Each structure stands twice: as structure tokens, then as C-alpha cells.
């Protein structure tokens, strides 16, 4: 059974700081890994999707890396802004062909202080 862990559970940083969020998973047989942002009481917004054959993806100030062999992914946020405050979730889709079910971590709650 796939288990996804995100550490730390919460993080508070001053505005402008670069930061890294961590995601680890127990089963390396994945199809892809996706990072999401969730604002309080809201749905999930997709940030980056990394296919199992890829090592990283970038979008603006965000960069996500994937190391399947070690079961780790990181989300790097450059020059953090108060608007980045949210919970960040990673989700792993298994490589089982056909119709898969995704396993989520419990998230890292980020607060960026002005």
C-alpha cells in the first residue's frame, strides 16, 4: 500500500525567502506525481505534474523535482510572497495501467509573513 508523507506539517517563513517542501512515498512504482495548492475550505489547484520519466518541472517561481529511486519529491518556491500562503499537497498516481487511484499526503501548511 502506497504511503505518502509530507514534512514539515507546517512552515512559517518571512516574505522573500526561498523554501523547499518535501514529499516522500513508499512505493516507487508510480505513474506520476502532482503538486497541488489548497486554500482554506477550497478545492485543489494543480501546480505541477511530473511524469515518472521526468526529473523536474518548472512553472514560474515553482520548481518540482522527482527522485523515484529514493521515493522523494521536492517543491521549491522562490522569493515567497504572502499570496503563497496555503496548504501544499503532493499526490502520487500508481503505475498500474488503466484506471488508477491517487494517494495524497496530508499536506504542508505554509504561512508567508509580510
Partner 1 sequence: DAGVTQSPTHLIKTRGQQVTLRCSPKSGHDTVSWYQQALGQGPQFIFQYYEEEERQRGNFPDRFSGHQYPNYSSELNVNALLLGDSALYLCASSFPTGEAFFGQGTRLTVV
Binding residues for partner 1, per CB under 8 A?
4, 31-32, 34, 36, 41-46, 49, 89, 91, 93, 98-107
- Smallest distance from the beta carbon of 64 to partner 1, in angstroms? 13
Residue 16 or 22: the one with the smaller Cβ distance to partner 1 is 22
Picking from 20, 6, 30, 16, the residue whose alpha carbon sits closest to that of residue 75 is 20
- 46 DSSP β-pair partners: 36
Picking from 46, 2, 6, the residue whose alpha carbon sits closest to that of residue 27 is 2
Residue 36 or 112: the one with the smaller Cβ distance to partner 1 is 36
CB crowding 64-101: b at 16 or more within 10 Å, else e: bbbebeebebbbebeebeeebbbbbbbbbbbeeeeeee
- Smallest distance from the beta carbon of 26 to partner 1, in angstroms? 15
- Smallest distance from the beta carbon of 19 to partner 1, in angstroms? 20
- Smallest distance from the beta carbon of 110 to partner 1, in angstroms? 15
Residue 13 or 94: the one with the smaller Cβ distance to partner 1 is 94
Residue 68 or 93: the one with the smaller Cβ distance to partner 1 is 93
Phi, psi (deg, nearest 5) at residue 84: -80, -10
Amino acid at each position: 500500500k502506497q504511503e505518502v508523507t509530507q514534512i514539515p506539517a507546517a512552515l512559517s517563513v518571512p516574505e522573500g525567502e526561498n523554501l523547499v517542501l518535501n514529499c516522500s512515498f513508499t512505493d516507487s512504482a508510480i505513474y506520476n506525481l502532482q503538486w497541488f495548492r489548497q486554500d482554506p475550505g477550497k478545492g485543489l489547484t494543480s501546480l505541477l505534474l511530473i511524469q515518472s520519466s521526468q526529473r523536474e518541472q518548472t512553472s514560474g517561481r515553482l520548481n518540482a523535482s522527482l527522485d523515484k529511486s529514493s521515493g522523494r519529491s521536492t517543491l521549491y518556491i522562490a522569493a515567497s510572497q504572502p499570496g503563497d500562503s496555503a496548504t501544499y499537497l503532493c499526490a502520487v498516481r500508481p503505475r498500474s495501467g488503466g484506471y488508477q487511484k491517487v494517494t495524497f499526503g496530508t499536506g504542508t501548511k505554509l504561512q508567508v509573513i509580510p
